[in-house]
Amino acid sequence: MSENVEEISTESEELLDLKAEKLVQIMVDRGLHSIAPKIEQSGISYLSISELLPGEKDIQIKSLLDKMTRSGILNAKLIDKVVMCPSCRGASILAKYNCPRCESIDIGRASIIEHIRCGYLDSKDKFEKGGALICPKCKGVVRESDYRKIGSSFQCNSCGSRFESPKIKHRCMNCQEEFTYKDALYESAFEYSLSEATKKNVAKGTLPLISIVNALKDSGYDVSQKAQLQGRSGTMHTFDVVARKEKRVIVASFSFEPKEEEIIGLFAKKYDVDPSHTLLVTLTPPSKEEEAVSKAYGVKILCSTGTQSLAEQIYKILNE
């Protein structure tokens, strides 16, 4: 099992971009473990994500979600299928029934009856005359017991043809485009949820650390994970992330919560190694006390708050 998780997390590493990272972080932060589709006249949208990632278009959000699903970060469960306009992607679609022969919309249901005595078959309305039923062939009066119901079908009032099923056309209420099932978009509406692998990676810090590593690499740092640095005392200290660029050294460690003993433990290593920045990456935001302790010891706590992703916080520190 743990091997599988590792495999998925390396694949995710390649595919994760800032938005995906931000989305997962925000979802975790807010305890939002699944995102449901909203089917509206304008199409399928993921409203909660539009709120989480403002400025993103529905179609960009969809491709982000698809990408995250392919890379195993999210699971997708099919909720519904929606007919959409091939021209404007709207989902406010009317269905029109047409005559398959002349395409007229002037068609209706007809019940077919047979005049038993003469064997004449036609739609019932052809028999109707002045409130009675008269056979168009033999001109005899047809009473209830004189005919047999054969079935019902559609009938075209323009060309007179009868058919079992009409030709169905769609019309978009948004852009007035007419199309058939051949050209219609038939889109899937999925509910997305964090995959088990993602939940595990988040809990053990893999995912947050990937964000940190990528952001540091993007800024030109040489990054190693689970790396050791020798302190002035000669002791070797292990950090989850060690990043170097010229004379600057940044160290980071992960902890589920920014507990005081974690901060002080990291401070002890920092004191010996003397890096440019010492970061404690956590999933839970620090309390006021923890914030004060971290300030006093010069350990910077990085926690995704929902408004700023870990990567953004790294860039901010590097630009200070």
Residue ranges binding Zn ion (CB under 5 A): 85, 87-88, 90, 99, 101-102, 104, 115, 118, 120, 135, 137-138, 156, 158-159, 172, 174-175, 177
Count of beta carbons in the 10 Å neighbourhood of residue 160: 10
Cβ proximity to Zn ion: between 120 and 221 the closer is: 120
Q: How far is the CB of 144 from Zn ion (least distance, A)?
A: 15
Q: How far is the CB of 118 from Zn ion (least distance, A)?
A: 3
Cβ proximity to Zn ion: between 155 and 198 the closer is: 155
Residues 6+ apart with CB under 8 A from 81: 186, 187, 188, 189
Contact predicate 182/83, CB 8 Å: no
- Integer angstrom CA distances of residue 69 from 39, 74, 76, 183, 316: 20, 5, 7, 27, 30
> Helices 58-70 and 18-29: crossing angle, nearest 10°?
90
Contact predicate 318/276, CB 8 Å: no
Cβ proximity to Zn ion: between 53 and 88 the closer is: 88
Q: How far is the CB of 173 from Zn ion (least distance, A)?
A: 8
Kind plus residue range of the DSSP H or E element containing 166: none
Cβ proximity to Zn ion: between 100 and 306 the closer is: 100
Cβ proximity to Zn ion: between 113 and 215 the closer is: 113
Q: How far is the CB of 162 from Zn ion (least distance, A)?
A: 10
Q: How far is the CB of 135 from Zn ion (least distance, A)?
A: 3
Q: How far is the CB of 152 from Zn ion (least distance, A)?
A: 17
Phi, psi angle pair for 73, to nearest 5°: -80, -40
- Residues 55 and 44: their CA atoms lie apart, in Å, by 17
Kind plus residue range of the DSSP H or E element containing 60: helix 58-70
